[in-house]
Amino acid sequence: MSFIKENISIALDSIKANRLRAVITMLIISIGIMALVGILSAIDAIKNGINNNFTNMGANTFTIRNADVNIRVGRKGKKAKSYQAITYKEAIRFKNEFNYPVITSVSTIASFTARLRFGTIKTNPNIQVFGGDENYISTAGYDLEKGRNFNPAEIIGSSHIAIIGKDVEKALFGNKGNALDQFIKIGAGRYKVIGVLKPKGNSSGFGGDKISIIPLNNARQYFGRPDMSFTINVLTKNSLLLDIILFEAKGLFRKIRKVPVTGAEDFDIVKSDNLANLLIGNLQKVTAGATIIGLITLLGAAIGLMNIMLVSVTERTREIGIRKAMGATQKIIKNQFLIESVVICVMGGLIGILLGIGIGNLISVSLDTGFFIPWFWIISGVIICVVVGLLSGYIPAKRASQLDPIDSLRFE
């Protein structure tokens, strides 16, 4: 133990004696580690953001929607298969007939690129307008910050009322937020704002805070189109019964859609956590690519460290000769340079890890997922630093240990 302490002390003295060279070496290592830890921490932050957004929807939620691709390309000369949109009658019939301990809502997309107006003030044309019923807010994972929800009479009567997201309120009414009971224009229609949603964040890409919700029948009447498809959201009150209820929902909707017993479904049923897993699964490829890029950067840093250590051996040839003349063995000399390489690498790596954590948390804060400490990447970064230090220092250390003491003393 005392031997290791002595070598570390010698390594620190050498670093102090060659500050500029040591600082440059540490910067090379820190940049490599920062690239690796920073990129991977940022991806972890994105994963946390995805999980948080879908957790807000509720792990006990599933969605019945139109098939992923409406028209599929035919193969081997066969005619391409077309899937019909889910109609309003089908969605409402499911809601009325599905008698289980669940909350069911029917919704549709009125517009993906709407521009909302309040007097002369208008939003960017990136507001998503949804037509929803009285249960839509609950099943979509939203909460009201102020105001109230729709009631069934307003849904049936196609009332000109709206519930808006926080970003819409800020864009039209500023930070004072006096949106309630004001009249805004959505498309050609004039709507009274009756509610404002709590901030949810826009990282999920499914509306977020750039959203406006209008009564379902109003959306059908004023934004209707021939291919309009309706979505059914089901929120179960008991998550343990989720799979059973999902199976029953599939059976009922097959009956409503008149799908033959042996036929494949012409609709999709997706659990909210499945959507999150799908997006996270796509991120795995990004993670692999980012890891390769980080390792290539680190490889460059390792080569730079090895080169500087070789220069150090040449500059300290006389010192090596003196140490050997005083009885130092090849093993002691080798260990001295290896430990020096590892110390430089670890010191630079710690700086890189701190910078990498900072980058990861900047992404995390921008996604509203909060501050986090990526312990896995911290520990991995330290281990990588030690390994890089040993690999980079081995050849210079071996060369130093094999120097002839007589020639070393005559050096310079």
Residue pLDDT, tens place only, 42-93 = 777 777 766 666 555 555 788 898 875 444 444 444 444 556 889 999 999 9
Question: Do 395 and 338 share a structural domain?
Answer: yes
Residue where the block lists tokens 């019923």: 133
Task: Establish if 65 belongs to a structural domain.
Answer: no
Sign for the CA dihedral angle at 350, 355, 356, 358 comes to positive
pLDDT at 161 over 80: yes
Where in the sequence is the domain holding 92, given as residue range(s)?
84-265
Task: Establish if 338 belongs to a structural domain.
Answer: yes
Return the structure tokens found at 185: 């224009």
Q: What pLDDT score was predicted for residue 338? A: 81
Question: Do 287 and 234 share a structural domain?
Answer: no
The pLDDT confidence band at residue 145, using thresholds 50, 70 and 90, is: very high
Question: Do 18 and 167 share a structural domain?
Answer: no
Question: Do 160 and 37 share a structural domain?
Answer: no
> Which of 219, 242, 265 corresponds to the end of one domain?
265
Least confident of 88-102, 150-164, 226-240, 297-311: 297-311
- Mean pLDDT for 127-133 is 94
pLDDT at 163 over 80: yes
Q: What pLDDT score was predicted for residue 204? A: 44
Question: Do 326 and 239 share a structural domain?
Answer: no
Total of domains in the chain? 2
Q: Where are the alpha helices (DSSP H) in 58-151?
A: 88-97, 136-139
Task: Establish if 272 belongs to a structural domain.
Answer: no
Are 245 and 98 within 8 A, CB to CB?
Answer: no
Return the structure tokens found at 169: 């309120």
Q: What pLDDT score was predicted for residue 3? A: 64
Sign for the CA dihedral angle at 94, 95, 101, 102 comes to positive
pLDDT at 354 over 80: yes
Q: For residues 62 and 242, what is the distance between their CA atoms, to the nearest angstrom?
A: 9
Question: Do 218 and 241 share a structural domain?
Answer: yes
Kindly give the pairing relationship between strand 161-164 and strand 189-197.
parallel
Question: Do 282 and 259 share a structural domain?
Answer: no
> Which of 241, 265, 289 corresponds to the end of one domain?
265
Q: What pLDDT score was predicted for residue 104? A: 93
Residue where the block lists tokens 């920073």: 38
Q: What pLDDT score was predicted for residue 26? A: 82
Question: Do 189 and 100 share a structural domain?
Answer: yes
Q: For residues 289 and 72, what is the distance between their CA atoms, to the nearest angstrom?
A: 31
Question: Do 247 and 98 share a structural domain?
Answer: yes
Phi, psi of 141 (to 5 degrees): 85, 20
The pLDDT confidence band at residue 122, using thresholds 50, 70 and 90, is: very high
> Which of 208, 239, 265 corresponds to the end of one domain?
265
Phi, psi of 352 (to 5 degrees): -65, -40
- Secondary structure class of 263 (helix, strand, coil): coil
Q: What pLDDT score was predicted for residue 409? A: 62
Task: Establish if 95 belongs to a structural domain.
Answer: yes
Q: For residues 83 and 76, what is the distance between their CA atoms, to the nearest angstrom?
A: 19
The pLDDT confidence band at residue 118, using thresholds 50, 70 and 90, is: very high
Task: Establish if 72 belongs to a structural domain.
Answer: no
Q: What pLDDT score was predicted for residue 72? A: 44
Greater pLDDT, 58 or 154: 154
pLDDT at 13 over 80: no
For residue range 165-223, what is the model confidence (pLDDT) as tens digits? 999 999 999 887 789 999 999 988 999 999 999 987 654 445 578 999 999 999 999 99
Q: What pLDDT score was predicted for residue 157? A: 93
Q: Where are the alpha helices (DSSP H) in 58-112?
A: 88-97
Q: What CA–CA distances, in Å, run from 162 to 147, 178, 277, 329?
A: 11, 14, 32, 83
- 0.85 cut: is pTM over it? no
Question: Do 373 and 317 share a structural domain?
Answer: yes
Instruction: For residue 164, list its beta bridge partners.
Output: 196, 212
Task: Establish if 61 belongs to a structural domain.
Answer: no
Question: Do 297 and 349 share a structural domain?
Answer: yes
For residue range 268-311, what is the model confidence (pLDDT) as tens digits? 888 766 555 666 666 677 777 777 877 787 787 778 778 877 77
Closest of 391, 399, 360, 364 to residue 298, by C-alpha? 391
Task: Establish if 273 belongs to a structural domain.
Answer: no
Average pLDDT in the chain: 80
Task: Establish if 271 belongs to a structural domain.
Answer: no
Question: Do 348 and 316 share a structural domain?
Answer: yes
